[in-house]
């Protein structure tokens, strides 16, 4: 068994391991050549046990297998029970054989690793992020203790991310951390350095520090942070502001004094639609930046009281560096060379632990926003916008075929105050969706897409001519009404028609021009004012029956000859009828002519 040397107080330490609640057999425990526990506020804690195992008996003797419960603690020579370092699950087994010998390595992660498996698409409505964290943790089989954090969000989409990446993003956006207390997941505000107490969390450089590097810097510090969102209801920006402040360290210098000349950090977050959301983001972003003003890396004599999130008091490092710090990482190492040592880190919100490197980016990168920087095809699922703003909901088949987005605004041509186009997609239409600042919580519908099933009315072959030129442009409604512009060498037409062209207006673009107005039913032309029909050439009216009626006077005039022809012609007046020729007048018939009246006067 690896033991640490006695510290100045006269105590020594030994690592204690249990598998499925049972202590390691003595013959296995004594073969531990190295053990370390790497704990971080950004990642699941890691335990690494290395056994000298020339006969490959460690795993079978200790009943160690993947999935077994693993507990690691530190037993001090002082009175009292072992002090726990980690409660984990065995997640990996390794075998090493080289010139130095044969070794078995057991690795485990705390219960946060259960969130790092499958990716999911699901949504949460009308919840705070702390409520969402509780729901996600319970679904993963974890108990959860969450502080009330953040405003209530009408809709949050987990967009094809693992539970871990999803919760890390929510935590980063609201300045929260995800930690473990034994087997309970906690989601809450980070530890404040000012809560540091005395006792084992008071670090005196003179007798506890092996080596130390402490930094206080104004580099990158700012006076305050502004986050600009957008409220589409009010058509105005929402701005959250946060002054420079950090709870990660309390020293003689502060982010507020160091950042006075740094100006304002401006951030765009178009997915935020309320003042509360913008302010929560501003505080989180400010805390993440300000946390970099003081950093600490130190190797200490072994101290099992130190964990990621522990608040410590540092003494003897110098006036500029003494003060209180909240640890972001702690690594407890037992080996034959150094005995028991504890490495601690205080750093800004980025992943710096050894496991962060091994995990290939599950740390700081996990706190970034979803990487939907491009576009996604989607299917429209709902048009009934409760706020009557013309928004739609969609689902993303490339992510999940069930979960819906939040209400998405639809791009309209020339949209403005009482002007512009209004064309909403129909349910089950395919559309193309973009995301404001890559945030899946803020989708925008850019337009509709044709596909193999949904084709334009006239089909694609009729759209181009043999030279590859576009000859047909059209717009068709759901019921088949359409507007079409046709342009080819033979002529060009603009057609406005109802379904099947039963009623149509065709404008011809050619040297001769032309307009055709056709209908399978009646055509009514009505006006409250005058109607004028004029032609510089021939004007024809034709019909099965033609009736011209004037409610008052009727005037028919020709500057040339006028002719009225019919198989029979009847001219009738309700009162007086006058036929008059200013030059001459002739009344004739090839047959009998009858002039009849009660009195007939000729000349």
Average pLDDT over residues 450-465: 88
- Helix/strand/coil (H/E/C) assignment for every residue in 333-353: EEECCCEEEEEEEECCCCCCC
pLDDT of residue 211: 96
Does the structure show a pLDDT above 50 at 152? Answer: yes
Provide the pairing of β-strand 323-326 with 311-315: antiparallel
> Which tens digits make up the pLDDT trace of 62-103?
999 999 999 999 998 888 899 999 999 999 999 999 999 999
* Cα atoms in the 13 Å half-sphere on the side-chain side of 580: 4
Within 10 Å of residue 207's Cβ, how many Cβ atoms? 11
| Weakest mean pLDDT among 45-54, 64-73, 527-536, 589-598 | 589-598
| Weakest mean pLDDT among 38-42, 63-67, 341-345 | 38-42
pLDDT of residue 553: 81
Distance in angstroms (rounded) separating the CA atoms of residues 474 and 488: 14
| Mean pLDDT (the chain, rounded) | 88
- The three-class DSSP label of residue 524 is coil
CATH of 376-449, one of 3.30.1280.10, 2.40.33.20, 2.40.100.10, 2.40.50.230: 2.40.50.230
Residue 291 neighbours by CB under 8 Å, 6+ apart: 246, 248, 249, 347, 348, 349
Distance in angstroms (rounded) separating the CA atoms of residues 380 and 391: 11
* Cα atoms in the 13 Å half-sphere on the side-chain side of 71: 16
- Strands, E assignment, 498-599: 503-509, 515-519
Average pLDDT over residues 495-500: 91
Does the structure show a pLDDT above 90 at 575? Answer: no
Most confident of 146-150, 265-269, 311-315: 311-315
Does the structure show a pLDDT above 60 at 4? Answer: no
Return contacts of 101-104, CB within 8 angstroms, 24+ apart.
101/52, 101/54, 102/52, 102/53, 102/54, 102/56, 103/33, 103/50, 103/51, 103/52, 103/53, 104/50, 104/51, 104/53, 104/56, 104/58, 104/59
Kindly state the DSSP code that residue 279 receives in the 8-state scheme: H
Where residue 268 falls among pLDDT bands split at 50, 70, 90?
A: confident
Nearest residue to 33 (alpha-carbon basis) of 330, 304, 337: 337
> Which tens digits make up the pLDDT trace of 410-449?
999 999 999 999 999 999 999 999 998 888 888 999 999 9
Does the structure show a pLDDT above 50 at 394? Answer: yes
pLDDT of residue 373: 60
Does the structure show a pLDDT above 90 at 389? Answer: yes
Does the structure show a pLDDT above 60 at 5? Answer: no
User: 3-111: what CATH class?
Assistant: mainly beta
| Weakest mean pLDDT among 290-304, 364-378, 455-469, 483-497 | 364-378
Where residue 562 falls among pLDDT bands split at 50, 70, 90?
A: confident
Q: H-type helices in 194-337, by residue range?
A: 205-208, 255-258, 275-290
pLDDT of residue 350: 52
DSSP 101-140: EEEEEEEEEEGGGGGSS-EEEEEE-SB-HHHHHHHHHHHT
Where residue 356 falls among pLDDT bands split at 50, 70, 90?
A: very low
Average pLDDT over residues 55-59: 96
Does the structure show a pLDDT above 80 at 170? Answer: yes
The distance from CA 588 to its chain's CA centroid, rounded to whole angstroms, is: 92
Does the structure show a pLDDT above 90 at 602? Answer: no
Nearest residue to 40 (alpha-carbon basis) of 353, 446, 387, 348: 353
Percent of the chain with pLDDT over 70: 94
Nearest residue to 120 (alpha-carbon basis) of 375, 367, 402, 393: 402
pLDDT of residue 6: 44
Burial label, 33 (beta-carbon count in 10 A; 0-12, 13-18, 19+): middle
Structure tokens, 567: 């198989």
CATH of domain 116-188: 3.55.50.10
pLDDT of residue 367: 38
Residue 39 neighbours by CB under 8 Å, 6+ apart: 45, 85, 86, 307, 308, 329, 330, 331, 332
pLDDT of residue 48: 98
Percent of the chain with pLDDT over 90: 61
pTM over 0.85: no
> Which tens digits make up the pLDDT trace of 110-129?
999 999 989 999 999 999 99
Domain chopping of the chain, boundaries: 3-111, 116-188, 193-327, 376-449, 461-516
pLDDT of residue 318: 96
Where residue 12 falls among pLDDT bands split at 50, 70, 90?
A: confident
């Amino acid at each position: 068994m690896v033991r640490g040397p006695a510290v100045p107080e006269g105590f020594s330490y030994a690592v204690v391991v249990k598998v499925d609640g049972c202590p390691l057999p003595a013959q296995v425990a004594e073969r531990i050549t190295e053990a370390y526990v790497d704990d971080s506020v950004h990642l699941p804690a890691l335990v690494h046990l290395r056994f000298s195992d020339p006969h490959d008996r460690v795993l079978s003797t200790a009943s160690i297998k993947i999935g077994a419960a693993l507990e690691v603690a530190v037993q001090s020579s002082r009175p009292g029970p072992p002090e726990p370092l980690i409660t984990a699950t065995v997640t990996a087994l390794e075998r090493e054989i080289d010139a130095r010998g044969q070794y078995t390595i057991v690795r485990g992660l705390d219960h946060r690793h259960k969130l790092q498996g499958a990716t999911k698409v699901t949504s949460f409505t009308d919840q705070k992020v702390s409520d969402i964290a509780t729901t996600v943790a319970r679904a993963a089989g974890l108990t959860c203790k969450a502080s009330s954090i953040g405003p209530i969000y009408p809709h949050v989409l987990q967009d094809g991310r693992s539970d871990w990446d999803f919760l890390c993003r929510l935590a980063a956006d609201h300045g929260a951390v995800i930690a473990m207390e034994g087997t309970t997941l906690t989601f809450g505000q980070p530890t404040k350095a000012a809560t540091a107490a005395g006792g084992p969390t008071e670090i005196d450089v003179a007798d506890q520090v092996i080596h130390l590097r402490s930094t206080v810097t104004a580099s990158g510090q700012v006076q305050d942070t502004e986050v600009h969102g957008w409220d589409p209801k009010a058509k105005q920006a929402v701005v959250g502001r946060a002054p420079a402040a950090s709870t990660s360290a309390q020293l003689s210098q502060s982010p507020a004094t160091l950042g006075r000349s740094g100006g304002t950090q401006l951030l765009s977050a178009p997915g935020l639609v309320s003042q509360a959301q913008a302010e929560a983001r501003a505080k989180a972003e400010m805390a993440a930046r300000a946390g970099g003003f003081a950093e600490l890396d130190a190797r200490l004599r072994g101290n099992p009281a130190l964990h990621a999130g522990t608040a410590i008091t540092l003494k003897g490092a110098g006036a500029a560096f003494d003060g209180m710090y909240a640890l972001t990482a702690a690594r407890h190492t037992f080996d034959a060379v150094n005995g028991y040592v504890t490495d601690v880190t205080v750093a800004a919100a980025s992943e710096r632990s050894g496991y962060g490197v091994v995990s290939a980016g599950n740390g700081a990168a996990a706190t970034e926003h979803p990487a939907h920087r491009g576009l996604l095809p989607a299917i429209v699922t709902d048009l009934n916008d409760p706020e009557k703003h013309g928004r739609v909901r969609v689902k993303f088949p490339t992510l999940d075929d069930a979960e819906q987005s939040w209400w998405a605004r639809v791009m309209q041509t020339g949209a403005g105050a009482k002007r512009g186009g209004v064309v909403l997609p129909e349910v089950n239409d395919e559309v193309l969706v973009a995301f404001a600042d890559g945030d899946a919580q803020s989708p925008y519908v850019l337009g509709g897409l044709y596909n193999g099933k949904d084709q334009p009315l006239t089909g694609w072959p009729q759209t181009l001519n043999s030279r590859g030129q576009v000859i047909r442009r059209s717009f068709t409604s759901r019921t088949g009404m359409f507007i079409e512009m046709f342009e080819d060498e033979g002529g060009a037409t603009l057609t406005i028609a109802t379904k099947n062209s039963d009623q149509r207006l065709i404008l011809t673009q050619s040297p001769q021009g032309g307009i055709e107005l056709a209908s399978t039913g009646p055509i009514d032309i009505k006006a409250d004012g005058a109607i004028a029909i004029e032609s510089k050439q021939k004007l024809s009216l034709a019909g099965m029956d033609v009736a011209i009626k004037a409610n008052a006077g009727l005037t028919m005039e020709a500057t040339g000859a006028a002719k009225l022809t019919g198989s029979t012609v009847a001219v009738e007046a309700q009162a007086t009828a006058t036929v008059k020729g200013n030059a001459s007048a002739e009344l004739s018939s090839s047959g009998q002519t009858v002039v009849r009246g009660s009195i007939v006067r000729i000349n």
